[in-house]
Chains A and B, each alone.
Chain A
Amino acid sequence: DAGITQSPRYKITETGRQVTLMCHQTWSHSYMFWYRQDLGHGLRLIYYSAAADITDKGEVSDGYVVSRSKTENFPLTLESATRSQTSVYFCASSEQGYYNEQFFGPGTRLTVL
């Protein structure tokens, strides 16, 4: 299907485990983003990527790792999950350009016990 997809949609894990959240887009957009959304904080940028093999940290990147070997995929890994990483995670993509609207995936709800 065309668009931007995330998997899994729901995930429960335990403290200390490694977790990978997947993001896939079919538009060949240059930019991809990972956000977390918590009550009272709105959307906060974790990592972003301007192109394949180019990634950069956002404001809340500690404890997270990303990679982008292909334009269409942008996985987010929690190296050792902590309870504070319980959140809803959104992936987004956008074209490079003045109007660069971000298109968001449906989100992954992650619970760390």
Chain B
Amino acid sequence: KNQVEQSPQSLIILEGKNCTLQCNYTVSPFSNLRWYKQDTGRGPVSLTIMTFSENTKSNGRYTATLDADTKQSSLHITASQLSDSASYICVVRAGGSYIPTFGRGTSLIVHP
């Protein structure tokens, strides 16, 4: 069964600090992995997509990494801001399927 596990479940950091969120998956065969950001009361929005051949991709202060061998991805947030407070969801798609598998998300709170 395809599964996506995220850790930690929740995280509290101070504004300006860095943090790293983890995603482990057992989806096979792997096609791509997306990180979504979901602000409170809104739908998720895609931050970045990682394909099999990509190891690192940045989107502003967000940097995603992918290790396809160990089936792990991370999302690193640099110099956090209050607006980074949100849930971050890892979503993995298997080859041949348009139905992705969602992780349960990591809830990030950034305090001033």
- Contact in complex: A96, B43 (CB < 8 Å): no
The size class of the interface chain B forms with chain A is 20 to 34
Residue ID in chain A nearest B93 by CB atoms:
A100
- B44's partner among A31, A41, A58, A104 (CB-CB below 8 A) is A104
Q: How far is the CA of A5 from the CA of B48 in the complex (A)?
A: 23
CB distance from A25 to the nearest CB of B (A): 12
Q: B102 an interface residue at 8 Å Cβ cutoff?
A: yes
Residue of A nearest to B34 (CB): A101
Decide: A104 near B45, CB < 8 A? Known: A31-B98, A94-B98, A96-B98.
Answer: yes
B11, chain A: closest CB distance, angstroms: 16
**Top 10 closest A-B pairs, CB basis?**
A104-B43, A42-B104, A43-B102, A101-B46, A104-B44, A90-B43, A42-B102, A42-B105, A105-B43, A107-B43
For residue A45, which residue of chain B has the nearest CB? B99
- Among residues of B, the one whose C-beta sits closest to the C-beta of A33 is B99
| Pairs A–B under 8 Å by Cβ, sample size 10 | A40-B104, A43-B89, A43-B102, A92-B43, A98-B32, A99-B32, A101-B49, A102-B91, A107-B41, A107-B42
Residue of B nearest to A91 (CB): B43
Docked complex Cα distance between A50 and B97 (Å): 11
A104-B45, A107-B42 given; 7 more Cβ-contact pairs under 8 Å: A41-B104, A42-B102, A102-B44, A102-B46, A104-B44, A105-B43, A107-B43
Per the bound structure, the CA–CA distance linking A25 and B73 in Å amounts to: 31
Which chain A residues lie closer than 8 Å to B100 at the CB level? 102
In the complex, which residues of chain B have a beta carbon less than 8 angstroms from the beta carbon of A90?
A: 43-44
User: Does B81 interact with chain A (Cβ within 8 Å)?
Assistant: no
Q: B63 interface residue, CB < 8 Å from A?
A: no
Q: In the complex, what distance in Å separates the CA atom of A97 from the CA atom of B81?
A: 34
A75 at the interface (CB under 8 A from B): no
- For the complex formed, measure the closest distance between the CB of B35 and the CB atoms of chain A, giving whole angstroms: 11
Per-position contact with B for A31-62: 1 when CB-CB < 8 Å, else 0?
Answer: 10000000011111100101000000010000
